[in-house]
Structure 1
Amino acid sequence: MVTVAPPDTWTYALRLPHDPRAARVARMTVRAALHGHGMAETLDVVELLTSELVTNAYRHTRGPASLRLTALGDGRLRVGVWDSSPHIPAPFDEPPGSRGVQSTPIKPAPAGAESGRGLFLVQQCATSWGGWSLGSGLLGRGAGKLLWFEV
């Protein structure tokens, strides 16, 4: 039996070291993948939001991270970032049905603040988002979490 994937679906996965340059590598990967698959119209938003999630993974954990880009078909793209911390920040910690009108919006960072805008940007720019805790792992080794967004 032969299985053929539709031409508009694809996946890229990239393991990122705990390194301050990881966000740049992630942006370059997003740029190459989206250009290569004719999705350049979403590039700016996807590149920005990916960079924010990878930067948070670097700043709030001590281990590596992983980036996964998945074209879901019908023009949708899902970006997932895994890291070693099981803590899921808002708004990713809300059940999918509670987002939107019932969701408590994240307040923008004060003018002049050097951080605090990333998750606000995800909430404002992504079509949907979510997060899954993967638990604390065996013998104290963190299994981490996966945060994702779709555009």
Structure 2
Amino acid sequence: MVTVSPQKSEASASWSYALQLPHDPLAPRIARVTLRAVLAGHRLPQLIDTAELLTSELVTNAYRHSTGPATLRLRALPGTRLRVSVWDANPYIPPPFDKRTGPLHPIPVGADGGRGLFLVCHYADAWGGYPLGDDLFGRGGKLLWCELGARAVDRTEVAA
């Protein structure tokens, strides 16, 4: 069974990869390793650190709040940008992805969770989420996504 499938569009010279992840506590680590290999292979090392954090948080959210598998998709966007999206079977869109308007509010110090998606919103150039209706295979759920590029490169250059 192929779990990573590259898809290349000749018209746009872009690429995308899809990784099927079982409901397993190792899923975030496997997603990070795959992400690093893909970005290194496509000569985008400047995105690796930020993309790894954001991918890990999205996949961890899917593992913690869903009972089934998840799908990670990495897609190149124009201008050395990257879109990371994660599908899972739970249709609930968590805050702050449920409302894209207004400022992000810090997570209370004593809260048990909620920091991961807050980090995604803080470090991503763009982000969002939406519920998915049932497809031909009876899958619904949701898709959470984020994009990064210019800001991630700026942070890498400052750190160097």
* TM-score, L = length of structure 2: 0.79
Long gaps (5+) in structure 2: 1-8, 149-160
Pairing 1:73–2:82 present: no
Identify the residue that residue 19 of structure 1 maps to in structure 2.
24
Matches within 5 A, 1:48-59: 48-59=53-64
Identify the residue that residue 46 of structure 1 maps to in structure 2.
51
Pairing 1:120–2:118 present: yes
Give the Cα–Cα distance (whole angstroms) in 2 for the partners of residues 46 and 109 of structure 1.
25
Give the Cα–Cα distance (whole angstroms) in 2 for the partners of residues 29 and 114 of structure 1.
29
Runs ≥4 in structure 1, deviation > 4 angstroms? Answer: none
On the 8 A contact 1:80/1:147 being kept in 2, the answer is: yes
Give the Cα–Cα distance (whole angstroms) in 2 for the partners of residues 146 and 64 of structure 1.
13
Pairing 1:106–2:112 present: no
* Matched residue type, 1:74: G
Query: What secondary structure is seen at the aligned counterpart in 2 of 1:147?
Result: strand
User: Cα RMSD over matched residues?
Assistant: 2.0
Matches within 5 A, 1:78-97: 78-95=83-100
Give the Cα–Cα distance (whole angstroms) in 2 for the partners of residues 74 and 11 of structure 1.
15
Give the Cα–Cα distance (whole angstroms) in 1 for the partners of residues 92 and 139 of structure 2.
10
* Matched residue type, 1:107: P
Query: What secondary structure is seen at the aligned counterpart in 2 of 1:78?
Result: strand
Aligned-pair distance for 1:106? 3.4
Which string of whole-angstrom CA distances, capped at 9 and with x for unpartnered residues, describes residues 62-114 of structure 1?
A: 0000000000121111000000000111221225xx3xxxx231313527x66
* Matched residue type, 1:144: G
- Number of aligned positions between the proteins: 138
Give the Cα–Cα distance (whole angstroms) in 1 for the partners of residues 76 and 122 of structure 2.
21
- Identical aligned residues as a percent: 55
Identify the residue that residue 33 of structure 1 maps to in structure 2.
38
Give the Cα–Cα distance (whole angstroms) in 1 for the partners of residues 120 and 144 of structure 2.
11
